[in-house]
Structure 1
Amino acid sequence: MTDPFVDDDAASVEATVPPFAPFSAEDAVEGEVVRRRGIYLLPNLLTTGALFAGFYAILSAMNGKFSTAAVAIFVAMVFDGLDGRVARLTNTQSAFGVQYDSLSDMVSFGVAPAVVSYAWMLNQLGKLGWAAAFIYASCAALRLARFNVQVGSADTRFFLGLASPAAAGVVAGIVWCGQDLEPSGGIALTVCLMTAAAGLLMVTNFRYHSMKSVDFRGRVPFIVIVAAVIGAALVVIDPPRVLLAIFFVYALSGPGLWLWRRYRRGLAARGESA
Structure 2
Amino acid sequence: MTEPKRKGIYLLPNLLTTAGLFSGFFAVVSSMNGRFEAAAVAIFVAMIFDGLDGRVARITNTQSDFGAEYDSMADMVSFGVAPALVAYNWGLTELGKLGWLAAFIYVAGAALRLARFNTNIAVVDKRFFQGLASPAAAGVTAGLVWVGVEYDVNGSDYGLIVAIVTGLAGLLMVSNFKYNSFKEVNWHGKVPFVALLIIMLVFVVVATEPALVLFVVFALYACAGPINTFRSVDKVTLEHVVGDHEEDDADFADNSKPEDIKDHHN
Report the equivalent of 1:3: none
Aligned match of 1:54: 24
- The equivalent of 2:122 in structure 1 is 152
Matched letter for residue 262 of structure 1: V
Question: Among residues 176, 201, 223, which one is paired with 1:230 in the alignment?
Answer: 201
Report the RMSD for the aligned CA atoms in angstroms: 1.7
Q: How does 1:186-205 map to 2 (within 5 A)?
A: 187-205=158-176
| Counterpart position of 1:71 | 41
Q: Is the 8 A contact 2:102 2:167 kept in 1?
A: yes
Residue aligned with 1:178, SS = helix
TM-aligned CA deviation for residue 87 of structure 1: 1.2
- The answer as to 2:188 corresponding to 1:217 is yes
Judged with a 3 Å threshold, the aligned counterparts in structure 2 of structure 1 residues 111 and 183 are, in CA distance, closer, same or farther, namely closer
1:182 to 154, 160, 169: 154
Q: Distance in 2 between matches of 1:214 and 1:104?
A: 26
**In the aligned structure 2, how far is the partner of 1:137 from the partner of 1:235?**
28
Map Cα deviations across residues 87-131 of structure 1 (whole Å, 9 max, x no partner): 122222111111111000000000000000000001110100000
The answer as to 2:241 corresponding to 1:248 is no
Stretch deviating more after TM superposition (71-80 or 216-225):
216-225
Distance 1:217 1:121, change over 3 A: same
Which protein has greater RCO, CA pairs closer than 8 Å, 6+ apart?
Answer: 2
Q: Distance in 1 between matches of 2:89 and 2:78?
A: 16
How far 1:150 moved relative to its partner?
A: 1.4
- Alignment gaps of 5+ in structure 1: 1-33, 266-274
Measured at CA, do residues 183 and 101 of structure 1 come closer, stay the same or move farther in structure 2, by a change above 3 Å?
closer
Gaps of 5+ in 2: 237-266
Kept in 2, the 8 Å contact 1:124–1:183? The answer is no
Candidates 81, 88, 111, aligned match of 1:118: 88
Q: 1:156 Cα deviation (Å)? A: 1.0
User: How high is the sequence identity, in percent, across the aligned residues?
Assistant: 58
Counterpart-to-counterpart distance in 2, 1:194 and 1:148: 26
Deviations 1:168-187 (A, max 9, x none): 000000000002212445x1
Correspondences of 1:81-100 after superposition (within 5 Å)? 81-100=51-70
Q: Which moved more, 1:153-162 or 1:237-246?
A: 153-162
Distance 1:102 1:126, change over 3 A: same
Whichever residue aligns with residue 102 of structure 1, its letter is: S
1:109 equivalent in structure 2:
79
What one-letter code is carried by the residue in structure 1 that aligns with 2:79?
F
Does the Cα contact within 8 Å between 2:90 and 2:156 map onto a contact in 1? no
Change (3 A) 1:122 1:184: closer
Question: 1:152–1:222: structure 2 CA closer, same or farther, 3 Å change rule?
Answer: farther
Q: Which sits farther off after the overlay, 46-55 or 90-99?
A: 90-99
How many corresponding residue pairs?
A: 231
